[in-house]
Amino acid sequence: MTISAEFLEPIITLVLLLLLAVIAFGIVRVRGLFAVVIMLGAYSFLMATLFIVLDAVDVAMTEASVGAGISTVLFLGALYLTDVKEATGRARRLAPMLVAVVTAGVLIWGLSDLPEFGSADQPIHTKGADYLDRSIPETGIQNVVSSVLASYRGFDTLGETAVVFTAAIGVLALFARRRSDGKG
Q: Is there a domain that residue 148 lies in?
A: no
Q: Is there a domain that residue 75 lies in?
A: yes
**What percent of the chain lies above the pLDDT cut of 70?**
86
Q: Measuring CA to CA, which residue among 139, 155, 156 is closest to residue 147?
A: 139
Helix (H, G, I), strand (E, B) or coil at 35: helix
Report phi then psi at 32, rounded to 5: -80, 120
Greater pLDDT, 8 or 179: 8
Instruction: Tell me the pLDDT tens digit for each residue of 81-114.
Output: 776 666 666 666 788 788 989 999 999 998 888 8
User: Given this model, what pLDDT does residue 86 score?
Assistant: 66
- Side chain identity at residue 152, one-letter code: Y
User: Given this model, what pLDDT does residue 130 score?
Assistant: 73
Residues of the domain holding 23: 7-87
Instruction: Tell me the H-state helices in 54-153.
Output: 57-62, 71-80, 94-111, 123-126, 131-139, 144-147
Query: Please, what's the largest Cα pairwise distance for the chain?
Result: 66
Report phi then psi at 156, rounded to 5: -65, -45
CA dihedral 26, 170, 181, 90 (to 10 degrees): -40
User: Given this model, what pLDDT does residue 19 score?
Assistant: 95
Q: Is there a domain that residue 28 lies in?
A: yes
Structural domain count, the chain? 1
